[in-house]
Amino acid sequence: MTYFAHDTAIIDDGCQIGKGTKIWHFSHIMPNCTLGENCNIGQNVVVSSEVILGNNVKVQNNVSIYTGVICEDDVFLGPSMVFTNVVNPRSGVNRRGQYSKTTVKKGASIGANATIVCGHDIGEYAFIGAGAVVTKHIPDYALVVGNPARQIGWMSEFGHRLDFNAEGIAICSESQEKYQLENNRVSKIG
């Protein structure tokens, strides 16, 4: 075995789990899901059938990742955050064939207790604040907070708020990488 699973973890048949991945106490990895290399699955996590996690995905304790979710490489899922996969759930109505898809793009972070309503993608390196409720698509590098989530700024790939000058240029305080804001879109330029 090229990954670690705690004795209390349950891993169903048909899962693909990458080298160096760690699965901790009381987590359940359901059938036919894919976990990339060097992922960390905290305690009491549910990864539902057919979920795909890229490489180096960090899933904190008490997270539920439901069918229809794809997380690309380097995604961070904070403690007790949750995804949904049905827009209009009812206990007496089976909607298993109607799951909406959600993609969390490379490098995005989702804070503790946030909720991602299904069918809304999270852009590359976006930063979802703790407790936010995401009800629409989130652009690359966006910083969003609140319920419903609203954008209040932009973040660097290192997780620092970007302050753009009059020419639309910002420099990350940690990495010194440059970013450009143009037509309400951010891109890294160096």
For the chain, the domains span 1-90+97-155, 164-190
129 vs 95 pLDDT, higher one: 129
Asked whether residue 97 carries a pLDDT value surpassing 90, the answer given is: no
Quote the CA–CA distance of 55 and 49 in Å, as a whole number: 18
Q: The CATH number of 1-90+97-155 is which of 3.30.1340.10, 3.40.50.740, 1.20.1640.10, 2.160.10.10?
A: 2.160.10.10
- Mean pLDDT score of the chain: 97
Strands (E), 8-163: 10-11, 16-17, 22-23, 28-29, 34-35, 40-41, 46-47, 52-53, 58-59, 64-65, 69-71, 76-77, 82-83, 102-104, 109-110, 115-116, 127-128, 133-134, 142-145, 150-154
Query: Which residue in this structure is represented by tokens 């891993």?
Result: 11
| pLDDT score at 96 | 83
| pLDDT score at 1 | 73
Write down the H helix ranges in the chain. Answer: none
Mean pLDDT of 87-109: 93
Mean pLDDT of 53-73: 98
Asked whether residue 98 carries a pLDDT value surpassing 90, the answer given is: no
pTM for this entry:
0.96
Rounded to whole angstroms, what are the CA distances from 143 to 33, 92, 108, 188? Answer: 29, 37, 10, 16
CB 109 within 8 A of CB 127: yes
Contact partners, residue 155, CB within 8 Å, separation at least 6: 125, 126, 127, 141, 142, 143, 161, 162
Asked whether residue 190 carries a pLDDT value surpassing 80, the answer given is: no
37-57 residues labelled b (16+ CB within 10 A) or e (exposed):
bbbbbbbbbbbbebbbbbbbb
Mean pLDDT of 13-21: 97
Asked whether residue 182 carries a pLDDT value surpassing 80, the answer given is: yes
Write out pLDDT tens, residues 102-138.
999 999 999 999 999 999 999 999 999 999 999 999 9
Mean pLDDT of 162-166: 97
Token pair, residue 168, equals 């639309």
